[in-house]
Amino acid sequence: MYENVSEKRKQELNLLKIWAECVGDTYYFSMPQAKFDKNMEGCEDEEFFKAYSRQREIGLKEFEKEISGRIASINSAEEIHYLLDGYNYDNGSWTIMQCLNNPCCDIRTARMVYWLMCPDYYYDRYADLEHVPDTDINSKNSKVLKFIEERVLSQGFVHILTSEYEDGEVPSPNEYAGRIPDSLFAGKD
C-alpha cells in the first residue's frame, strides 16, 4: 500500500498530521510566553513545538487557514487516505473534515473514517444521526458521520483507490443496512 507515496512525501504528510492536530488547540496559544517556554523546555526540536510556535506567531485563524490550505492542496486520494490512516480520533474532527472535504477524498477513506467513528453507537442509542442531542459527549462525531452519509448519497467521493485500501473495520452489509447508505459497506463500490 502507498506505493505511489514516496518516503519523503510520507514524512511530509506525517509532519502535516502533527501540525493539523495543533489547529484549534488554544492551550499553548493563550499561555504567557514565559510559561510556554518553561512548558516546552527541551522540546524545541519537536514538530509540535514548531507548530505551536507558528500558531502563536501568526494567530489562531491564520494558522488554521495555513494548515487548511496545505491539506486542500493535496491532489492525491492516496495521500488523503495516508493522512487519516492511523489517525487518533481523540484529536478531534478538524483534520478529518479537512480531508473529507478535499475533492480527492476516496470512498474507501470515507468508509474507513465512518466505521472507525462507530456509527452503530448512534444508531443503537438514538435510532439515527438526526436525533443525537448536543448533550451527547460525542455529538460532534455524529455530525461528521452525517456529513459522510450526505456526501455518499450525493456521490461526492471519488472511486480511485483499490480494494487493498479498504479498512478491516468496514463491515459487509449488516443489521444497519437500509438505515446506513449501501456505499458505506465493504464491497459496495
- Reported as a single tens digit per residue, the pLDDT across 161-183 is 999 999 999 999 999 999 999 99
3-state secondary structure of 95: helix
Q: In this structure, is the dihedral angle defined by the CA atoms of residues 95, 100, 105 and 109, taken in order, positive or negative?
A: positive
Which pLDDT value is given to residue 91? Answer: 86
Amino acid sitting at position 70: R
**Residue 43 gets which letter from DSSP?**
-
pLDDT range class, residue 89, cuts 50, 70, 90: confident
On the question of pLDDT at 136 being above 90, the answer is no
Q: How confident is the model over 108-127, as pLDDT tens digits?
A: 999 999 999 999 999 999 99
